[in-house]
Structure 1
């Protein structure tokens, strides 16, 4: 290794040597370890953008996003529509649909028979919000929630809709929301990444989850989401190689850093220093990650609160508990993906099982954060990529029906982190098809999340290929009515 460094150093002509002598290569290598942003290669304009953050006092310090992949039906969760029960089997009036586009799965249907929810609804809490019977634990914390019933999106199929929610665009190669926050705010804990990703699978029909959803896009690689697994090693390749001591590992990283700094001086490629930072983060995570992922020391009261599956790695319940531990330790953005919400058929049976997977744990997370005094500074989000149609897909049966994709109106909830608790925002028509009050677009949602973290969404930008990009693209408005 030292011989290679020497050979690299000799491979300099006189002009290169004199021009770089003042830089001090040894100091540069050490500086990159002590000051991670030393060689970011940002422009003065980007430096000014970063120096201004946060743009104003934040309400939230961090985010836990409980993404329900596959799109849970709003009509079986939080948007109660008794008219659908009365209109069972009748065709959706053309005056309601108004020729709006449908997916290829129902576009050829001759009829669009209306079907109400198989589950009962009741009003809960001081907000008197309607909650489905399959969410009894969520009903208990309803006064901590802000339920938004007027979400809408542009995408009608899963992959572009999911990508749109996470990155602000329906195509790939854009930074995810977590990456933007890592870029803008960094992590509160130097031993942990700013952006962590947790995956789980429910019992229903699943949709794929791809690494592009937590990609750094055109941002530095240090802002990519770090995926945790349910294996013996929560973060793969984190352990030292066999027969290598901690001291030897440190020496090896120092040598690699020195070589990388030499390459940086020659090629001026920020990706080189990003690698050095990633190596250093992995080294620091070797101590922090095993401690955080160890739930054996959690008291019985916490196990009872979340349910016994919180001790089973890789379950949604365990990931909710891990999300609390990561967030509590200073991770800026924790993203959970729970698959299985794509109910095109057999909705009554599948959705009840899916709800059972997530209901207690989601409510427990709210309760856990609240009793630790962390809910006020932690924004929790629950929801999918779009909603579901009020008409049945295929053959209609009272106890066995399915719903197609519906981007025009759907529901999510938010809690903590500067959001008003115990309110219901927005409304759909009596058929649950169109929004009639306070519409919230995906970009509005993203702008609001950034605002709660002290960021003006129009000012958090990155210049790439001659254009300034941002999470909200060229639109988005903060939904001020839901803010404390």
Structure 2
């Protein structure tokens, strides 16, 4: 047993040392700059082995505004006048090329082209096209890297959503936030490294579930912590009635002693993870109420985000809270906004969705910039796949639906070392990519690179195999990164 414990500890130390430790005095110097409390004498080994990026990062933190349900790129970002010119005509078979269909359109005999109901115009020095539905986003056009050539493999919501969040279409894989927590840790000892915020829109919604922010096979300290809009933003955080903080502190100290004895016997890393989680929860008792209090925000900020930002649980409130969390050092803030599943009555539903999200999304970028935080914060906006250029069901000028389309769709990124501009191009039908395709694995590889992590080296051995966020694929999209 002693020999097995020794080998276990050696493997853990060797793996973490080789994957995250800087080389020589240069690495130590870099560590002291990136982690100010590195040599404070408190948890020095954990600070050194888990918080250092592998090379100089472009970004320190990420805010991911995930638009759950798949926004229609053809009604928001990817202007295709040909679809209006050929409104109602059948999609040529030479363009569709026998693409797999969902069960919702597999029985359709024809695929009538549906031009957008909304007007488009170009904005900023980049000349990017934006729909009239996005006036606020268009106003920050010169801050955005608009990627029009995203593509994915999944054609249905659950596997596509899981793929974007975990790098795999099946469950029980660590999410993006968990991988970043594992690789870099948190900059704030009183808050988790990975926080999750949820909101619901006015449109047809798709569910979100905890497997999207799971730690998977990583230690449980890396799981996302969900914040709610209720009286207690983090459940089970407060002490029971009649139990003062001093008693809670004493109980945790005694519990830690017992757990450490247990760890000495079994060397199970989850025992250490429990101790860390108890300590984090204790520190969060003070930090969470303060950071979730939005009532002290100045009037100028409320006006920027919109009046809804003072209503807990709204998209605007979550964007403002995301700024506060990121500003406080939370490594990865994940927002999910539901309601983008536009299979029918899309013009009406997407109008409501944009009313909920456009102003607050742009305000977040502007707010970060005015605070000097945008250069070190990567903001991402997008869904799990795109929408078809043809109508699902009955076609009308002002009332149509679009089915799922994994072949091409649009996301945007801002700050965090990305170049403003438009990257990638689709054909005149908005159906296939004709320039600079970006796969989901490429997206993940690029995000990790911006955070100072090599996606091929950020691995974890599980069940005899080394896993990573990008599986066995992925290329960094260097053309969108500032030099």
| Equivalent residue, structure 1, for 2:472 | 474
CA distance in 1, matches of 2:152, 2:412: 16
TM-score in terms of structure 2 length: 0.91
TM-score in terms of structure 1 length: 0.91
Q: Secondary structure at the match of 2:63?
A: strand
Kindly provide the CA deviation profile for residues 395-430 of structure 1, in whole angstroms up to 9, marking residues without a partner as x. 111111100000000000000000012x00000000
**What root-mean-square deviation, in Å, do the aligned CA atoms of Structure 1 and Structure 2 show?**
1.6
CA distance in 1, matches of 2:459, 2:390: 41
User: 1:205-244 to 2 correspondence within 5 Å?
Assistant: 205-244=204-243
| Equivalent residue, structure 2, for 1:35 | none
| Equivalent residue, structure 1, for 2:449 | 451
| Equivalent residue, structure 1, for 2:15 | 45
CA distance in 2, matches of 1:391, 1:416: 34
Instruction: Report the more deviating stretch, 41-50 or 466-475.
Output: 41-50
C-alpha deviation, 1:100, in angstroms: 1.0
| Equivalent residue, structure 1, for 2:263 | 264
Query: 1:56–1:455: 8 Å Cα contact kept in structure 2?
Result: yes
CA distance in 1, matches of 2:286, 2:366: 29
Query: 1:40–1:270: 8 Å Cα contact kept in structure 2?
Result: no
C-alpha deviation, 1:118, in angstroms: 0.7
C-alpha deviation, 1:47, in angstroms: 2.9
Q: Secondary structure at the match of 2:304?
A: helix
Kindly provide the CA deviation profile for residues 100-154 of structure 1, in whole angstroms up to 9, marking residues without a partner as x. 1111111110010001001000111111111000001001001100000000000
| Equivalent residue, structure 1, for 2:347 | 348
| Equivalent residue, structure 2, for 1:56 | 55
C-alpha deviation, 1:199, in angstroms: 0.2
CA distance in 1, matches of 2:439, 2:133: 27
C-alpha deviation, 1:50, in angstroms: 2.5
C-alpha deviation, 1:45, in angstroms: 2.3
C-alpha deviation, 1:40, in angstroms: 11
Structure 1's consecutive aligned runs of 4 or more residues displaced over 3 angstroms after TM superposition are: 38-41
Q: Secondary structure at the match of 1:391?
A: strand
Residue 73 (structure 1) aligned with residue 72 (structure 2): yes
Q: Secondary structure at the match of 1:164?
A: helix
CA distance in 1, matches of 2:365, 2:158: 29
CA distance in 1, matches of 2:334, 2:156: 21
CA distance in 1, matches of 2:399, 2:279: 53
C-alpha deviation, 1:261, in angstroms: 1.4
Q: Find the structure with the greater CA-based Rg.
A: 1
CA distance in 1, matches of 2:215, 2:86: 47
User: 1:58-457 to 2 correspondence within 5 Å?
Assistant: 58-421=57-420, 423-457=421-455
Q: Secondary structure at the match of 1:149?
A: strand
Q: Secondary structure at the match of 2:197?
A: strand
CA distance in 2, matches of 1:386, 1:356: 21
CA distance in 1, matches of 2:20, 2:139: 41
CA distance in 2, matches of 1:41, 1:208: 40
CA distance in 2, matches of 1:477, 1:123: 30
C-alpha deviation, 1:266, in angstroms: 2.1
Query: 2:20–2:54: 8 Å Cα contact kept in structure 1?
Result: no
CA distance in 1, matches of 2:214, 2:110: 41
Q: Secondary structure at the match of 1:350?
A: helix
Query: 1:347–1:402: 8 Å Cα contact kept in structure 2?
Result: yes
Query: 1:46–1:462: 8 Å Cα contact kept in structure 2?
Result: no
CA distance in 1, matches of 2:193, 2:405: 33
For these two proteins, the number of residue pairs brought into alignment is 450
CA distance in 2, matches of 1:138, 1:349: 19
Unpaired segments ≥5 residues, structure 2 = 23-51
CA distance in 2, matches of 1:298, 1:78: 32
Q: Secondary structure at the match of 1:161?
A: helix
- Mark the CA change 1:236 to 1:409 in structure 2 (over 3 Å): closer, same or farther: same
Query: 2:21–2:54: 8 Å Cα contact kept in structure 1?
Result: no
